[in-house]
Amino acid sequence: MSACDSPGLQQVASATDPVVSLLRSFGDEEVLYCPNPGNAGDVFITSASYQALVRSACRYRVIDTRCAAEATRGRIVVYGGGGAVVPLYSAASKFLREHHRGVQRLVVLPHTIRGHADLLAEFGENVHLFCREQPSFEHVSRHAPHAMVELAHDMAIGFDCAAAVDEAERLFWPVVSSPRWAWRNTKRHLRGLPARLRGAATGELVALRTDSEKTDIALPRGNVDLSNVFNVRELDRLSCLESTWRMMRFIDRFDRVVTNRLHVCIMSALLGKQVSFLPNSYGKNRAVYEHSIAGRFPRVSWTELHERTGEPVPAAG
């Protein structure tokens, strides 16, 4: 079954309305959009953000985190959503620190934010921060008293799957997408083969983290960290669409998904899969689950890790 034919494929566009409304308020003024770099989950967020920019009729130009502060002075800057303003990572906080004073307006799309109390305290009234879960909202509200702080949903929650699939199937070849991406997609095929072989027998995809946010859970045979497999460095609109579409096609081969990757969970939920969603290392997954997933996607269930063995245990209730 293709992603386009998946009976569970859906969009929750209303979830991002506060963001779209703000983007619309900029009218004809050009916005500088800086995608948040990271893994394929961040690419998925970026693809959803491009959709939101289009829905809002926002006139934008893409920059990256290496952009000099002089280039953004007096401009409206929108920094992409994600989970990068936490102590584990530095690129997002470095960009925000370098740019927030000189810009006309700085908008941070829905983010998980932990720590960085000194940076938050620097933010003035020209900064608008969207937090994608309650703990971040409370933390930022406490430490950034002069900024505008708003609770919203992760950008990927509002991703229009059907529109993405329709465009991708018109633009890209089924197997390799294009000569430019042929070798990359061949490598993706090989890296995903163990999971496909396991899934052929069980119908289940296990996609557990292998990076700095991993937990002590044992990685079973056939595990594939999809957010590494489908990552791209190029964050232009078409590269993000192609990568996101490829990951959708991969996930849609399975009936059930076990993951502690937030955006594997969200994508699987949008595709109507049965999902067991596990914690990451610092509580982000549980917070986003409670704010944006529970009650919206009934086939996603929160799964705790046993305190002693580290094995998955379905949460009570």
Helix orientation angle between 161-171 and 237-251, rounded to the nearest 10 degrees: 110
Number of independent structural domains in the chain: 2
Domain final residue pick, 96, 124, 157: 157
Query: Which 3 state secondary structure label does DSSP give 106?
Result: strand
117-130: b (≥16 Cβ within 10 Å) or e:
eebbebbeebbbbb
Beta-carbon count within 10 A of 100 CB: 22
Does the pLDDT at position 57 exceed 70? yes
pTM of the predicted model, to two decimals? 0.93
Mean pLDDT in residue range 216-227: 94
Does the pLDDT at position 90 exceed 60? yes
Asked if residue 37 is part of any domain, the answer here is yes
Please answer whether residues 159 and 110 qualify as being in contact, where contact means their C-beta atoms are separated by less than 8 angstroms.
no
Asked if residue 185 is part of any domain, the answer here is yes
Please answer whether residues 147 and 127 qualify as being in contact, where contact means their C-beta atoms are separated by less than 8 angstroms.
yes
Asked if residue 310 is part of any domain, the answer here is yes
Please indicate, yes or no, whether residues 50 and 110 belong to a single structural domain of this protein. yes
Please indicate, yes or no, whether residues 134 and 26 belong to a single structural domain of this protein. yes
Is the dihedral angle over the CA atoms 39, 41, 45, 46 positive or is it negative?
positive
Please indicate, yes or no, whether residues 32 and 77 belong to a single structural domain of this protein. yes
Asked if residue 165 is part of any domain, the answer here is no
Q: What is the pLDDT of residue 315?
A: 66
User: 301 is in which domain, residue-wise?
Assistant: 176-314
Q: Phi and psi of 269, rounded to 5°?
A: -65, -45
Please indicate, yes or no, whether residues 195 and 292 belong to a single structural domain of this protein. yes
Please indicate, yes or no, whether residues 245 and 126 belong to a single structural domain of this protein. no
Does the pLDDT at position 308 exceed 50? no
Q: What is the pLDDT of residue 17?
A: 84
Q: What is the pLDDT of residue 304?
A: 86
Please answer whether residues 141 and 150 qualify as being in contact, where contact means their C-beta atoms are separated by less than 8 angstroms.
no
- Say what percent of the chain tops pLDDT 90: 89
Please indicate, yes or no, whether residues 15 and 147 belong to a single structural domain of this protein. yes
Domain final residue pick, 99, 126, 157: 157
Does the pLDDT at position 66 exceed 90? yes
Residue range 44-55, pLDDT digits in tens = 999 999 999 999
Q: In the structure, what pLDDT confidence band is assigned to residue 168 with cuts at 50, 70 and 90?
A: very high
Domain final residue pick, 157, 189, 221: 157
Please indicate, yes or no, whether residues 122 and 62 belong to a single structural domain of this protein. yes
Residue range 182-211, pLDDT digits in tens = 999 999 999 999 999 999 999 999 999 999
Asked if residue 166 is part of any domain, the answer here is no
As a whole number, the mean pLDDT across the chain is 93
Please indicate, yes or no, whether residues 96 and 237 belong to a single structural domain of this protein. no
The DSSP-derived string for 43-102 is HHHHHHHHHHHHHTT--EEE--TT--HHHHTTSEEEEPPEEEESTT--HHHHHHHHHTTT
Please indicate, yes or no, whether residues 219 and 147 belong to a single structural domain of this protein. no
Please indicate, yes or no, whether residues 265 and 191 belong to a single structural domain of this protein. yes
Please indicate, yes or no, whether residues 72 and 182 belong to a single structural domain of this protein. no
Residue range 235-250, pLDDT digits in tens = 999 999 999 999 999 9
- Say what percent of the chain tops pLDDT 70: 91
Beta-carbon count within 10 A of 175 CB: 9
Asked if residue 29 is part of any domain, the answer here is yes
Please indicate, yes or no, whether residues 46 and 152 belong to a single structural domain of this protein. yes
Triad 286, 233, 1: Cα angle to 5°: 65
Rounded CA gap, 101 and 109, in Å?
Answer: 18
Q: Phi and psi of 153, rounded to 5°?
A: -105, 155
Residue range 285-299, pLDDT digits in tens = 999 999 999 999 999
Mean pLDDT in residue range 311-316: 64
CATH number for position 125 = 3.40.50
Asked if residue 31 is part of any domain, the answer here is yes
Residue range 105-155, pLDDT digits in tens = 999 999 999 999 999 999 999 999 999 999 999 999 999 999 999 999 999
Residue range 3-45, pLDDT digits in tens = 445 545 555 545 458 999 999 999 999 999 999 999 999 999 9
Phi-psi category of residue 27: left, alpha or beta, with phi > 0 → left and psi -120 to 50 → alpha: left
Q: What is the pLDDT of residue 11?
A: 52
Asked if residue 14 is part of any domain, the answer here is yes
